[in-house]
Structure 1
Amino acid sequence: MPPISSDPSRRLLLGALSLTSLAITLSLPMQAHAQAKTKVAAIYTVPFEQQWAGRIHKALKAAEARGEIEYKASENVSNADYERVMREYATAGNQLIVGEAFGVETAARKVAKDFPKVGFLMGSSLKPVAPNFSTFDNFIQEPAYLTGMIAGGLTKTNKIGMVGGNPIPEVNRLMNAFMAGAKEINPKVEFSVTFINSWFDPPKAKEAAFAMIDKGADVLYAERFGVSDAAKEKGKLSIGNVANTQAQYPDTVVASALWNMEPSIDRAIKLVKEGAFKGEDYGIYSMMKYKGSELAPLGTFEKKVPADLIAKVQAKEKAIVAGSFTVKVDDSQPKSTAK
């Protein structure tokens, strides 16, 4: 064993190094705590593949991939089971719970009240509640208006079929915006509107679309999955909603109004990390100004849509983002105008 140095300066150096090592060791738990990932859970009443849930799931998976959160999710949860699942996630230490309060508003808000230190970000038509119940909505009526313009310019029969899930404000406003956009380009266009009263029933949506095609519709608004399948089989065109499915239907889906949940999800995660999450309305973060929605690229239809129509759509898009044109939010149930 080498002798201990009698050099005073060396002894001071060794002492300083020991104190530095001790400080680093003591700080490790604090650093680990500061860098701990935020625990987030999501609850969906539909499968992950359903477009609405899918967009939220996508944004949360992206945050997980970046290493920001620990993410757990449950799909196909029935309304009767929703409160139990919410409570289990809250009790398990999740700091943020994301989901949908439609149909379970009373239960969801009751759970949030019982866990005031947990942040809740829930899809809802109603208002947020202090201190911890925030709401969001798919306010993507702006790109829906733009897709309507495209549909109005492409129809040759002047008949457009529209298949929706349920006639609630979140669906109605998108369909009404689409219809207004189509009418701007083509005042002669007529609409057939049907609701399948389900959030995920592709076969039923497909049959509804077939009926519209039989009545002359050559462009279909696919608010639900299944509509584009009918359009593909019959050689008609379709317009997508919430998610871009052109890759699956390259000769059928002309354009889509995309919903991007990343601005809302990323904001909620940031506030939870900062201890600043509170009950507020996240609806505006789904609008084009915040990149919460957009018109999907025309892709395979880029050279198939007339240049003058594209120019009109692009001009309207710029006006929307600049704030010089506002797409009306109309939550009333849309009606058929076709004779």
Structure 2
Amino acid sequence: MKKITLIFASLMLMIVTACSQQSATTGSTGTAAPSASASAATTAPQAEKKLPKVAFVYIGVPGDGGWTYEHDQGRLMVEKELGIKATTVENIPEGPDAERVFEELAQSNDIIFGTSFGYMDPMYKVAQKHPNVKFLHATGYKTLPNMGTYMGREYQSAYLVGMAAGKMTKNNHIGYVGAFPIPEVIYTINAFTLGAQSTNPNIDVAVVWSNTWFDPATEKQAAISLLDKGVDVLAAYQDSPASIQAAAERGVWGIGNDSDMSRFAPETYISNPKWNWGPYYVKTVKSVMDGTWKSEAYFGSMKEGITDIAPLGKNVPQDVKDMVLKKKQEILDGKFEVFQGPIVDQDGKVRFEQGKKMTDEEILGTTWFVKGIKGVIPK
């Protein structure tokens, strides 16, 4: 019996020893534990941030030399700094086509930027159906938890360019070809006029509407209608250089929009408001990547770099350039507000008393012209 017990004990010792040796070479699941190099290879890809899929929808083409060109420059900055290859869809009209494009893009993208005011409602509809996709709309005012808006204080740039226009006119008659009668265009024309009045109280600004964003033929005809009335400085809000080209043909000073348009009329070019979307696009995509993105109505300033003025033309006198750049510095330093009373509308009504500043909501809801503007805002 003792002999049997001894044999049994020896067998149990062998089993326990074998199990101990096995546990040293297996993981908790009973499978072989990975080596240090294998473990590093497994965890390395998990440590890398997943790059989001990003899409841009353009109202025109980058070759417009203006609005879409500057948005596309922003897209290129995103690709360069973040290593993302974005999708672009060009020449998408506002309306049903835009809704279809947004719906298609939402199937395979994480972030979608729409770059025209008329994309607002189509994007809003699609965003409601795709809560996991981030939608960003330029110049609109509707938001959702997954849809934000973005715009810059272009009126600051317009004021500065208006100052130069007031100095450059000889007959005090300035023309402005408006795009669409929406608040962003209206308050930009107002700021331009206030800037011109600050350097020449005798000016008036005649406004006509093209009802286009990019239609060179239509925009040129609208410009000609103002040139025929004798304006000697011509500004425009469209994405094309058609208006300043028409002005150059008559030897009239021209002011473009969105991007540096000096190359289209070098001898008669004054300047124009200029966009710089890249920093905003990079910041927004980064915030999505790191999980800090929140829907907002972004309204960036010249100090933030989203808007500026193009270099003043080579034939603009140096004293005019110095004057404009001095005022620009005041804006950057927060020492000057464009929309601060007294502000009187074209019917003579005091809209804002002396010293009162317009709020962002009031600026973004502007539907009236300031005193000194000749033209009507269609209902």
Q: List per-residue Cα deviations over 1:91-123 (Å, max 9, x = no partner).
A: 11x111000463343332121122112111112
Q: List per-residue Cα deviations over 1:224-282 (Å, max 9, x = no partner).
A: 22101101111111112211111232112211111111232122111111122221111
TM-score (norm: length of structure 2): 0.77
Match of 2:162 in 1: 148
Deviation at 1:140, TM superposition (A): 0.7
Deviation at 1:222, TM superposition (A): 2.2
SS in 2 for 1:255: coil
RMSD: 2.0
Matches within 5 A, 1:201-280: 201-224=215-238, 225=240, 226-280=242-296
Q: Would you say the 8 A contact 2:235–2:254 is kept in 1?
A: yes
Match of 1:103 in 2: 118
Q: Does 1:121 align with 2:136?
A: yes
Q: How many residues align?
A: 312
Deviation at 1:23, TM superposition (A): 2.6
Aligned AA for 1:324?
K
Match of 2:11 in 1: none
SS in 2 for 1:288: coil
Match of 1:185 in 2: 199
Q: Would you say the 8 A contact 1:139–1:170 is kept in 2?
A: no
Q: Whose Rg is larger? A: 2
Aligned AA for 2:70?
R
SS in 2 for 1:247: helix
Q: Would you say the 8 A contact 1:263–1:292 is kept in 2?
A: yes
- More deviation, 95-104/222-231: 95-104
Match of 2:51 in 1: 37
Match of 1:65 in 2: 80
Unaligned runs of 5+ in 1: 1-17
Measure, in 1, the Cα distance between the counterparts of 2:302 and 2:216.
Answer: 28
Match of 1:4 in 2: none
Match of 1:312 in 2: 323
Q: Would you say the 8 A contact 2:236–2:256 is kept in 1?
A: yes
Match of 1:198 in 2: 212
Measure, in 1, the Cα distance between the counterparts of 2:188 and 2:335.
Answer: 20
SS in 1 for 2:287: helix
Counterparts in 2 of 1:27 and 1:64: CA distance versus 1, 3 Å: same
Q: Would you say the 8 A contact 2:153–2:302 is kept in 1?
A: no
**Equivalent pairs: percent with the same residue?**
33
TM-score (norm: length of structure 1): 0.86
Deviation at 1:142, TM superposition (A): 0.4
Unaligned runs of 5+ in 2: 1-33, 340-362
